[in-house]
Amino acid sequence: MNSFNHPNAGRSQHHSSDEIDLRDIAIMLINGWRWIAISMATCLLLAGLYLVASTASYHSSLSYTETSDGLNVINRIPGVAITPQQAVSELEIRLGSYERFRAFLDQHPDYADMLMRDSAPELEGTVLRTQFRELKVAPGDLASGSPGEVSFSYPEDVDGASLLNQYFQWSQQQYTSDLLTRVDRSLASAISRNEAQMEAHLEAYDAELDATVTRMNEEHSIRRLELQDQLAAERAAERASREERIRTLEQAEEVAGMLGITKPTSPLALGDADDADDADDADDAARIVYDNVSIGNDLPLYFLGTDALAAEREVLKQGLDQPITSPSIRQIEMQLEQLQHQRRIEAFKARETDSPFIDAYNQLRQENTLLRANRVTADDIDVVEVVNVAYRPMQPEGPGKALVLALALILGGMLGVMLVMLVTFSRSLRQYRSQRA
């Protein structure tokens, strides 16, 4: 350090030109080598203390990619449509959620204790949130085919690789469970909608059936009244016909009595009786006329005689007091008897349920049966495929001892040079002032 006090050094610097001489700088640095050495030693000491106090940091990453057919099973469920890109995006959002990270630690307290180390319990939230910031989610590029990546930086005393693998697997399982919940909810919603439609079909059919029964009852009532009117008309017509027959018989009986016909006869026989006293040479033409009359089908009733006419008239009068019947009346009575039992309406009322007779209802019930047959498990869903699992590297990521020591040497040398130049400038300035004084 005596070289800084040499009087000739001050004079030479004072009388030198304003140009910088590199030899002077080199001599200055050589003379101040002790300051440089002390600065470098101090920086190396501080770097050593930093390396001793600091903890080695490791970095692990897990890469994954989407699957092409891992969602085909659930996409066949009505109301569910999830693309692989959408599934990967939703999973990445879950991986980057601090709340889900805390839920994972709540279910895996060993990892929570590992991250907390010796931290105070009241600082748990702060420590865990700080650790969570070291977990990075980098989505993959689907266009280029590069996989997504989840990385985690952790200190040496934390098994970060295992934590990362477990957290990714847990997140995937939770997301798969949520997808299964969506599937169950979608199936339940579809079944509920179908059941509501089935109930609506039943109500509509019941209303239609009630209207049909009402119409049928009305039609039957009208038909019954019509048949009863027709029956009354037929009976009245039949009675009138019989009464008319009685009057006709009475008139014929009166005529027969006047002619003295008591037994059935014919015009020919009647003519023979009237001409019994005439000659045998009666005109043959007259006999032929009587013969033609007797052969005819429309002989007057009085030719039956009073006995037959009276007997028929009496029978008809007695029949007036008895139920009047005829083929047409019996046909009407048969139809009325059939209307007493409405078999179709009785069949409608005897049904326990109307569902077998509703095609739309049966179709929806079949659809619900098929929906309930869907059984989707976690093994049927594959959201992503892990390309590389996380592992603990052989060497820590930081701090690098060689780099820290090298930086300490460079920084110490720079500080030493600056210190030598500052000291030299300060002394030369004092010498200059003393010379001026």
pLDDT the model gives residue 150: 93
Answer yes or no: is pLDDT of 26 > 80.
no
- Spatial strand order of the sheet with 384-388 comes to 135-138, 148-155, 57-66, 384-388
DSSP 147: P
Q: Which of 198, 179, 148 is nearest to 71 (CA)?
A: 179
Which has the closest alpha carbon to 66: 42, 43, 82, 77?
82
Look at residue 138 and give its three-state secondary structure.
Answer: strand
Ranking 21-30, 122-131, 160-169 by mean pLDDT, the lowest is 21-30
Report the alpha-carbon distance of residue 391 to residue 161 in Å, rounded. 5
* Preceding peptide of 393 cis, ω within 30°: no
- Secondary structure of residue 279 in the 3-state scheme: coil
User: 417, 36 in Cβ contact below 8 A?
Assistant: yes
Bridge-based pairing state of the strands 148-155 and 57-66: antiparallel
What is the per-residue pLDDT across 280-318, written as a single tens digit (0 to 9) for each? 444 444 444 444 444 445 788 888 888 888 888 888 888
pLDDT in tens, 62-119: 999 988 788 888 888 888 888 888 999 999 999 999 999 999 999 999 998 888 876 7
Question: To the nearest whole percent, how much of the chain has pLDDT over 70?
Answer: 84
Predicted pLDDT at 100: 94
CA distance 83 to 228: 75
- 3-class state of residue 149 by DSSP: strand
If you average pLDDT over residues 160-166, what whole number do you get? 93
Whether 290 and 267 have beta carbons less than 8 Å apart is answered as yes
Each residue's pLDDT tens digit, 104-127: 999 999 998 888 876 777 778 888
Both tokens of residue 21? Answer: 């001489």
364 against 6, higher pLDDT: 364
What residues have CB less than 8 Å from 159, skipping those under 6 apart?
Answer: 114, 392
State how far Cα 387 lies from the chain centre: 34
The two three-digit tokens of residue 389, written as one number? 């699992």
Exposed, middle or buried by CB within 10 Å (0-12, 13-18, 19+), for 66?
buried
Give yes or no for residue 278 having a pLDDT over 60.
no
DSSP string, 380-412: G---EEEEE-----SS-SB--HHHHHHHHHHHH
Confidence of residue 274 (pLDDT cuts 50, 70, 90): low
| Per-residue b or e along 389-405, where b marks 16 or more CB atoms closer than 10 Å to that residue's CB | bbeeeeebeeeeeeebe
Delimit the domains of the chain by residue range.
215-351
H or E stretch at 60: strand 57-66
CB 147 within 8 A of CB 44: no
CA–CA dist 132, 115 (Å, integer): 10
- pLDDT tens profile 184-219: 999 999 999 999 999 999 999 999 989 988 898 888
Cα–Cα distance, 74 to 182 (Å, whole number): 9
| Phi, psi angle pair for 398, to nearest 5° | -175, 165
